[in-house]
Structures are given as C-alpha cells and as structure tokens.
Structure 1
Amino acid sequence: MTGTAKGMIGFDWAYCRALAVGVQDGIADEDVERWLPEARKVHERILKERESGLLAFWDIIEDEKVEERVLEIAEHFKGRLVDNIVVLGIGGSALGAQALFDALVSPFYNLTTRPRFFVLDNIDPLTFSQFLDMVDLGRTVFVVISKSGTTAETLSQFLIVKERVVSLLGREALKKHFVVVTDPDKGVLRSWVRESGVLSCDIPPGLGGRFSVLSAVGLVPAALLGLDIRELREGARAMAALCETASVIENPAYCNGLYHVIADLDKGKNIHVYWAYSDSLYSFADWLRQLIAESLGKKVGEKLYGPTPVKARGVTDQHSQLQLYREGPNNKIITFIGVKSWPADVDIPPAEEESLADAGYLGGKKMGELFHAEQRATAWALAEAGRPNITLWFPQVTPYTIGQAFFLYELQTVFMGYLYGVNPFDQPGVELSKKMTYGLMGRKGFEEFVRYL
C-alpha cells in the first residue's frame, strides 16, 4: 500500500498479484524481477530528459509564472456579470477542464450557480446550434484552447462565435468575451490575439495537449470558476516528489506502470479498465482514456503496441459490464478508482412496513457504506475468478488529491511508453485523417489527399 501520508492518494495492488489470482493471470515477484533492469534504464532516461528540459509536463507544475498569469486573467473577469464560462476545444484541450470541473463541483452546479460551465468539445451542428440559441452571448466568456492554434474543429467554433459576438455587441466587446490559450508564437489564434488584443495564456511548445491539464489549458477554466488552482498544482508537486525515487517498487507511477505493462505483454491483459466508483471521477477516467490511447497506441516497425483503455462507472456498470469482466475473455486488468470519504452522506432509514421486511438489512446504514461494500465485493469477486484488479484510493476528492492523480498518470504513461519502446508524446496515427479533412474542406496544400476519397 502506498500513499499512506495524510491527503495522499495511494494504490492497493493486492488483487493483481499472483497470490490472489494465480500465476497465469497475476503478477509474481519473478515477473517484476525480469523487468527491473529495463525499468531502471527508463528511470535514468527520464532523469536525463527532465534535466534537459524535455519533460514539459513536469516543468510546468514548477513554473510559478503560469499560476500568476492565470490568476491575473481570473481577476480581470472578477465582479463582472458573467453567466457562462464556455470552453471551445477538443481532446486534450477539453478533457482535463471537464475532469477538473466534474471532480470539484456539484453535479448540479449549473442548475444552481453562476457562472455556469460548458465544454463544447464536439462539432455536432445540432448541439452547437442549440447551445447558441440558449446562451446569452452578452454574459458569456469563451475560453478558446488549441495548442497549435490551427485545430479545425476549434477554429470553426471560434469563427462562428466571434462573428455572433461582433454582430451583437461590436468588435470592442471581443476583449470582454474571449480568452485564448495557445502556442506563444505560432498559429492562427496567436496571430488573432496580436491583432485583437484579447487576453491570452501560452501553452509551452513542448507540452502536448493530453499532458497539459496542469498548465493554462486546465487552469484558466478552473480559475474562472474560482477553483483552487494553487492547491491543485501543490498536489501535483507532492506526487512528483514521491515519484522522484529510483526504486521501481516504491515509486507509485513506476510500480503501477510496470504492473500494467507486465499485465499487457506477459499476461495477455491488453484491455485496461478504469472503473470510477465516484461520479465525480468518471470524467477523470475519460481523461485517462485519451492519455493512454494516444500516448501508447503506436506502431513500431511491424510491431503494434498499446493497451485499449475503457472507462466504467460504479456501481452502475456492475449491471452492464461486470458479467463480461468476470466470465468473459480474461484479457483485462481493472483499476477501481475509489473515494474513502465524501463531504456528505445519506442515512438509509429503517424499512418499517412488513411488506418491506426484506429490505430491512439496509436500515440504519449509510448510502456510502453500500457504495463501498459494492466496490469491495466487486473487486473480490473479480479476483476470485482470476481477474486481476487494482484499487486507487482517494482519501477525498479535493484540488490537492486530483492534482496528484493527474501528475501520477502522466508520469506513469511516459514510463510505460518507454518500456514499450514507443514515443508517448506523438500521435502520428491521427495525421492522415486531419490532412484528408483539410483537403475535403478546401484548405490549400492538401488537395492531393482528396483523391483517396
């Protein structure tokens, strides 16, 4: 068990070990020993890259200027009549902000509080049209996020909204209704920032979108909502300090990453399920899907690498996926993401009527007890069937603990990528469809790609 210090997240790996699920499916000491030499080489590589400034996701959590700039922008809008904060972005430019929002505010926040928060991370024309019909542009701030500043989906949203704001409120209103988060030097959005004078934050050139949640990409929306971004990044730094150890077993990012690589390559578990036993962490599992899929799903020569990440929600998916996970193909390793305590719980009253006697065992308990019981029982039932599983425990979901989780999985993903022998920072598999889209939409220089269609 790691992460026993107060306020630290931690793993329980008992049910992924061979002692619990058998040597064919579980991880034995000998399995770990075989991988340790390679794991130590990866640690040395990570150290060198960090010293050389090549790990932007690590550097960004130590850059105090990022917090200062983000808080300046939040202060600029403080006290203004703002009903809506709207993120225009996709992929890594949206998933982190959504995960932060869902983790740290009530699921009914938008029904009771202003400003409301929306992430428009798709270009379904019906959804976007209906949103524009519903929102009061005069009381809305749009946060436009694109690392490259050329993302077609985000640019299309931006052009539509910009035109409507100008038509309704005038060109001078742009400064009151837009914040741009993009490359410091390049791209269409950076050029527009220079021309229009709207507020902006930089995304460091070496920081990929899926690793950017602890940068301005995630911090600007969070700060505009009044979330504690200092605590968020302090939590990330606390986890980074814990992960500086060279000991693979004592380093939570390395140990968990190694277990997942062994499960994939040695045990045939190439589907990695992230089962959030907290509604507040379901979007975190969504963020994880992109981080893992884009970082690790790679082709190297003729070899294909990468686990398939799947998200699930507890207890809901006990009634939709558990049957498959326990009795279907044994090709999965499951991570339960649990919370030890909540800021609120609900008492279950006694079942007083005779007709409800069979429900009497629930009376006098708390809903949280039932939630924990179902999580524990599901983990045990899977282990009993030889299905390896891990639990990541949050003491509570706070800015401090969610900051830890973001950093831990970013580092774990890099560690796994290097063990696989792939580059966790690129995504060549998505480039062709982008180029074909450009060709279909008439972008100059991409005409040749239309012929494929």
Structure 2
Amino acid sequence: MLKLNDLASLGQSIWYDYIRRQFITRGELQNLIDKGLRGVTSNPSIFEKAIAGSSDYDDDIKSLINEELSTEQIYEKLAVKDIQLAADLLLPVYEKTNKTDGYISIEVSPKLAHNTEGTISEAKKLYAEIGKPNVMIKVPATQQGIPAITELISLGISVNVTLIFSIENYKQVAEAYLVGLEKLVEKGGDLKSVASVASFFISRIDAAVDKELDLLGNNELKGKIAIANAKKAFQFYSDLIKSKRWEDLEDKGAQPQRLLWASTGVKNPHYPDTLYVDNLIGKETVNTVPPSIFNDFMDHGCILHTINKDVEEAFNQLDELNKLGVDLDSITKKLQADGLESFSKSFENLMKAIDEKISSIKTEKKRFRIFADKYQNEIDKAMMELKAERIVERIWEKDHTVWSEKPDEISNRLGWLKSPDVAEESIKNIYEFVEEIRGEGIKNALLLGMGGSSLAPEVFRLSFGVKEGYLDLTVLDSTHPQMVKEYAEKFNPKETLFIVSTKSGGTVETISFMKFFYNLTVAQVGKENVSKHFIAITDPGSGLEKIAQELNFRKIFLNDPNIGGRYSALSLFGIVPAALIGVDLEELVSRAQVMVCNSEGANCPIHGDNTPANLGVVMGLLAQKGVDNITFITSKELGSFGNWVEQLIAESTGKNGKGILPVVGEEVLEPSYYSNDRLFVYLKLENDSTYDNKVNELITSG
C-alpha cells in the first residue's frame, strides 16, 4: 500500500472511519497501520452495527450484566476499551509523526450537542477514563459546542470538531481553537501536547444541492459544489496559518488545526467512487474514509495534489450557485441540524442494540445454527481455508480473482456490497415522493418488470402487506395475454401508478407492458395527465431513461449500474416499491447494515460469528459432496422469500455446468422420504413453532 505513503508525502493523512473489536484484536488495524494508515475515527452508528451485528462484544457484555450498570454505562465501557486498544496500536504513529497523527476519536453523546457544560463534563470524563495521549474527543460544531471546544483545548484535551458544513461555521471553529490555545498559554500549558482537526463534511452537501439543481434543470454544477466549498475552506485555512496571530502560537509549539474531510463516501452512485478523495488532496489535510471507499481508493485512486487546483473555478461555481438562487448557507444549516438528528437516532438505536444483545445473552438465544455432524471435520477444514485465503476480505475488496482470473462481468457487478449505505441516502427523497403520490389519492401501484427487477418488490408486498393509507402493489411479470387483459380491467388508470422497472432499459416484455398501459392511460386521463401516472426505475443511460424523459415521466429513479438484477433487492429497484406499500425503509436498511457488519472481513468466520460465510461454506462444500438440493422450510409469512432466493441461488450458482438446486414450497415430509442429496434451511419467525417437530426429526435422522 505505497499509496498511503505517497499520499503522506503530499501532506495528507488517511484515517479510517471504522471500528470494531475484532478489527482491532485480530490484526487488521495493525496491518493497515503497517501500510501507512495514520488514524481512526468512530461514531455511535459504527458501534451500533458492530455490537448488534457480531459476537465481538458478547463476552464483555456478559461480564458487565451483573454490575448494575445502565445501558449507556455498558456502552461506554465497551467503547472505551476499543478506543484504548486502538490508541495503543496507533501510539507509534503518534510518536513518529511528532503528535501530528496516530489519533483515535470518540464522540460525546449526541444528546449533549446543545449543552455546553454537559459536553465539557463528558469530554473530560471520557478523556480521563481512556487515559491515552493520542485520543481526540469529538464535539459537534453547534453554537453550544463552540465554547466547549475552547475550554477543552485550554485544558490540553485534543478535539475532533465534527459536523462542519459551512465556511462561516468553520471560521467559528478555527477561532475557538485559537482562543483555546491562547488560554492554554496563559495557564502555562504545553501547546505541543494538544491537537485538533476540523471535520468538514463533504458528500452530503452535493446530495442536498444536487436536489435543488434538479428542480432548476441545471446539470452543470451537480457534483461540484461540495468540492468547491471544501476548496474555499482550505483557502481560509491557508490564509489563517500565515497570520501573525498563528505564527506566535506556532512559535510556542502549537500545531495547526488541520481540515479533515469527512463524509467522503459518495452518496450518488453515478459519481466516481473516489471523487471526494481524489479531488481533496493537499498539504496538512486529513481524509477519513469508510472501508468501502478506502478499498476503492487503494484500487484506483489518484495521487495528485488537487486541493489548490482550479480554485478560481471553485469560487466561480459557488458564485454561480448563488446567482441561481440556491441558498448554500440555509442548506448547510439544515444539514447540520439533520446530522445532529441522525447522530441522536443512531445513539438511540445503539442503546436498543445493546438492550437486545443483553436479552439474547441472558436467554442464550442463537439466531443461527448448523447441524451437519457427518461433515463437521470437512466444514472446519473448509472454514480454515476460507480464512487462510482471505476470501471474505477479498470479496469486500472487490477482488475478482475470488471468482475468476478475468474481471469481466464481476468487477462491474459488485455494487450490491454497499447497497444499504447507498439506499440510506435515498430514503428521504423516496419518502417525499411517496407522500406526494399518497396526497393525490392514487391507490394502486402496478409494477411492470421481469426477473430480478420484479421479485424483490413482490416479496416485500407478500411479506409485509400494505400499510393503511399506502398503495397496494401488484407485479406484472407475465406476458400471458389473459393476465395482461385481467390487469388492464382490474386497475383504473386514474388511481394507479405504473412502475416501469428494468435494469437494461430495453427488456422487450417490460417495454411492451409500458406501451400498452401508457396508451390505455392516455385514453382515460388524456395526454396532458398521463405522465403523472408513470415512473421509471432503470440504469443511467438506458433506453428506458431516454423514453421516460421524452414522455415526461413523473419520476425517474436511476440505480447504481454496478448492481445485477437479482442482487437489487436493497437498491432502488426494491426500496422504491417497498416505500409505496408503507415499509419502514429506515428500519429495513438499518437491519441490512447490521448484517453487512456481520458479514465483513473483520468478523472472522471461525473466531467470530460471520453467518453468511458459515452458510456459504456449508452450502458450497455439501454441494461438492453431492448434497446439492437445498430445501427451504419457512414460516408461512416468509413463503415468498423462497421464490426470491430460489432465483438468486439457481442463477448465481448454476454456471459452468454445475450448481445448487433450490427447492421451495414443498411439503415437509418424514426423513425416510428424502434421499441423501438434501440440505435443509429452516427460516422462521421468532414465535412460530409450526415445523419445529418435523425439523427436529430431520436433525435427529442426520
């Protein structure tokens, strides 16, 4: 990973926006440090997914349960231990860089964002409990947080100032740091012992501004304002460190408060994935990146000094935005407020996750078990091979050699790895669209699609039903004339939203459906109103996008083109229809993110509880042994899931003359009726015991 060292030679440090126990204890963090990583950041959302999505913390929680601690106190114990362990690993970096890098950040409770004294008190307590010099306490850049920054710096406590979006707010943060240093001088303190970074959030600005630009029909500035805003901030920083005031502090040993680029994961899947890394490289800056962006940058990121490039153009872009009537100050204020709300919700979810974990530990509840005694030795051996060859880690690194020597149809099909994170950024926009539709009295949604584009929406409809006041969703995925005729008679176009859904944008059946129902709707509502009843979900640049633009469809949802159809359940192909029937997308995506955490490379399939890795090894190994008929036994309410997973498994493994045959919807029989080629997967709701006895008979029979 020479890239990290090359980047450091240009003056930029890469920090890692991620933490979990096994990542620290099993050597992954140390491995990254050895290759040039210079710091780590954490937040409640990261801790929530790590605690809920793994067994990393189970032993510690078991030991804390009987200490009569509150949920928040238990969290603090878990987090402090992680921070201490990470700080110890980063200490050599801290010393080697003369206290410039090597920091690990931990956040004060988001509940204290508007409480100056509360923030100061908790920050002092955390700093004392952790007891490491290379720790930064994260404090939000709210009006109440600004004086807390000054006080903490004056006490010699290093601070990571978070949730900065605007230039004016950044100026307040910079002033707070300077005043804090000056107070520390007055106290006779050591300026060399304290540091700070100003975490300037990037991608969320483009997400918000792009929405305004869409309303104005302006595409020229899309994807540019966040970087322009950051470059303007860096110009202020450059001027500040040339001032006499700063030079006096620097002479006394003060370190500059570096700009840290945060929220650098690309929210728009149509932008280059390393956009907010490649374009913000400069001297005395930090970029904290999530694992997915880190891997993308290591694979194809650019090492060029870019922060001072095209600065005049950046200022012109900001001026042009202002001329268009887009109020960036209002947008950034709202982004900070939304960020605080999001952080607070993450903290609440974290507390719930710990409570649920405590409950499952007390009841010794296990959500996943394998019964395969006959093959256990071979399974254990296969798991060791999986670990030794770093298969899970390589999947997350998008290493095509896991599957084939050639990257064709692999490297450009792995967008599903970050579907939950991309989906999370789309939720607000989707909700606004759904409320608009509901407000117009539209009662039904008819999805026109085939295969992967239609299966997930159908699963959502059959599994969750329709929430009161939302649209009833039906899927048309058959070209049988009688079914098309039946749906044409069943749905009143005046009360129906037609969802034209195709990844390629050229699926003959889907386009034929669209033409038929479009003409039918024209006859009912007229040419002037027909477009209000049609939306499209497709890949950018597809034939459907062009058609939808020409026909002025009400909405065009452009999906990540790097996601294959059958892997699109948590992309726009799945979550837009799900929202229309009233599915709680926030809960859906949050649970998916927990499972992402469970499936990550840091969750060792042997020493951890990596459920997908364990299930995959069992399915693959047994298939090689001739046990290649996988039979799904499910609770009645989950029956439709089998239809979706059937296609997923059959199409994904049925290549090169070999594969696994999924069997769904079959009656559960006595063990004697089955041959030795069956692997059973029992998926049930928590309180459903319908098939427990029959499944136990299958387990007992081997």
Within 5 Å, give how 1:317-332 maps onto structure 2.
317-318=667-668, 322-323=669-670, 326-332=672-678
> In 2 relative to 1, CA 229–176 (structure 1 residues): closer, same or farther, beyond 3 Å?
same
Confirm whether residue 307 of structure 1 aligns to residue 668 of structure 2.
Answer: no
What amino acid maps onto 1:227 in structure 2? V
> Is the CA contact 2:413–2:564 (under 8 Å) kept in the aligned structure 1?
no
Give 1:237's aligned residue.
Answer: 593
Find the aligned partners of 1:34 and 1:168 in 2 and give their Cα distance: 61
> 1:194 is matched with which residue?
549
Q: Deviations over 1:392-411 (max 9, x none)?
A: xxxxxxxxxxxxxxxxxxxx
Deviation at 1:326, TM superposition (A): 3.7
- Structure 1 stretch displaced more, 190-199 or 325-334: 325-334
Which residue of structure 1 lines up, in the alignment, with residue 701 of structure 2? 385
Task: For 1:226 and 1:289, locate their aligned partners in 2 and report how far apart those are by CA, in whole Å.
Answer: 25
The CA distance in 2 between the partners of 1:235 and 1:175, in whole Å, is 35
- Structure 2 distance, partners of 1:383, 1:283, is 24
Contact map agreement 1:326 1:382 (CA 8 A) in 2: no
Offset at 1:120? 1.0
List alignment gaps of at least 5 residues for structure 1: 342-370, 387-453
Deviations 1:325-367 (A, max 9, x none): 64232111011111113xxxxxxxxxxxxxxxxxxxxxxxxxx
Paired residues, what number?
Answer: 330
Query: 1:114 Cα deviation (Å)?
Result: 5.9
Task: Tell me, in whole angstroms, the C-alpha distance in 2 between the residues paired with 1:11 and 1:293.
Answer: 25
Q: Residues 11 and 252 of structure 1 are in contact (CA less than 8 Å); yes or no, is this contact kept in structure 2? A: no
Structure 2 counterpart of 1:408: none
Q: Select 1:334's aligned residue among 680, 693, 702.
A: 680
1:88-167 correspondence to structure 2 within 5 Å: 88-105=448-465, 115-167=471-523
CA drift at 1:17? 2.0
- How far apart are the structure 1 equivalents of 2:386 and 2:557? 39
Measured on the aligned residues, the alpha-carbon RMSD in Å equals: 2.7
Q: What does residue 252 of structure 1 align with?
A: 611
Q: In structure 2, which of residues 565, 568, 591 is the aligned counterpart of residue 212 of structure 1?
A: 568
* 8 A Cα contact 2:536 2:557, kept in partner: yes
Among all aligned residue pairs of Structure 1 and Structure 2, give the percentage whose two residues are the same amino acid: 26
Match status 1:79 vs 2:424: no
Distance in 1, matches of 2:470 and 2:428, equals 24
| 1:66 counterpart (426, 436, 450) | 426
TM-score, with structure 1 as normaliser? 0.67
Residue deviations 1:129-187 (CA, integer Å, cap 9, x gap): 01111221111001110000111111111110011111221222232211100011122
1:242 deviates by 1.6
Looking at structure 2, the residues matched to 335 and 243 of structure 1 have their Cα atoms a distance apart, in angstroms, of 19
- Amino acid in the other structure paired with 2:446: V
| Paired position in structure 2 for 1:428 | none
Partner Cα separation in structure 2 for residue 179 and residue 143 of structure 1:
5
For the Cα contact (< 8 Å) 2:448–2:513, is it kept in 1?
yes
Q: Structure 2 matches for 1:345-360, cutoff 5 A?
A: none
In 2, the alpha carbon distance for the partners of 1:74 and 1:158 equals: 21
1:90, 1:121 within 8 Å by CA — same for their partners in 2?
Answer: yes
**Does the Cα contact within 8 Å between 2:438 and 2:469 map onto a contact in 1?**
no
The one-letter code sitting in structure 2 at the alignment partner of 1:191 is K
Structure with bigger RCO (C-alpha 8 Å, 6+ apart): 1
Distance 1:91 1:260, change over 3 A: same
Q: Equivalents in 2 of 1:167, 1:34: separation in Å? A: 62
Residue pairs, 1:363-382, within 5 angstroms: 372=689, 374-382=690-698
- Shift in Å, 1:10: 6.0
Which residue in 2 is equivalent to 1:404? none
Provide the rounded CA distance (Å) in 2 between the counterparts of 1:306 and 1:376: 29
TM-score norm. by structure 2 comes to 0.44
Q: Distance in 2 between matches of 1:10 and 1:225?
A: 31
1:45 deviation in Å?
2.0
Contact 1:289 1:309 in 2 (8 A): yes
Q: Secondary structure at the match of 1:285?
A: helix
In structure 1, the residue corresponding to 2:440 is in which secondary structure? coil
Q: What does residue 384 of structure 2 align with?
A: 36
Could you tell me which of 585, 600, 622 is aligned with 1:263?
622
Structure 2 counterpart SS, 1:275? strand
2:384 corresponds to which letter in structure 1?
A: L
Task: Give 5+ residue unaligned stretches, structure 2.
Answer: 1-53, 59-352, 401-410
Counterpart-to-counterpart distance in 1, 2:586 and 2:420: 10
3-state SS in 1 of match to 2:684: strand
Q: Find the residue that maps to 2:664 and give its secondary structure.
A: strand
Give the stretch that moved more between structures: 135-144 or 4-13: 4-13
Residue 272 (structure 1) aligned with residue 625 (structure 2): no
Separation in 1, partners of 2:398, 2:575: 25
* Displacement after TM superposition at 1:113 (Å): 6.8
The whole-number CA distance in structure 2 between the counterparts of 1:134 and 1:105 is 19
Alignment pair present for 1:173 and 2:529: yes
1:12/1:230 CA distance change after superposition, 3 Å: closer
Q: Distance in 2 between matches of 1:128 and 1:113?
A: 26
User: Secondary structure of the residue that 1:141 maps to in structure 2?
Assistant: strand
Change (3 A) 1:156 1:231: same
CA contact (8 A) 2:413 2:563 kept: no
Secondary structure of the equivalent of 2:665? strand
1:369-396: CA deviation from partner (whole Å, max 9, x where unpaired): xx51x4121111112332xxxxxxxxxx
Aligned counterparts of 2:477 and 2:524: Cα–Cα separation in 1: 24
Q: Equivalent residue for 2:645? A: 288
Displacement of 1:223 in angstroms is 1.3
Letter in 1 for 2:535: V
Select between 123-132 and 43-52 the one with higher mean Cα deviation: 43-52
Distance in 1 between residues matched to 2:633 and 2:674, nearest whole Å: 17
Alignment partners' CA distance in 1, 2:673 and 2:430: 49
Q: Distance in 2 between matches of 1:270 and 1:212?
A: 25
In the alignment, is the contact (CA less than 8 A) between 2:506 and 2:542 conserved in 1?
Answer: no
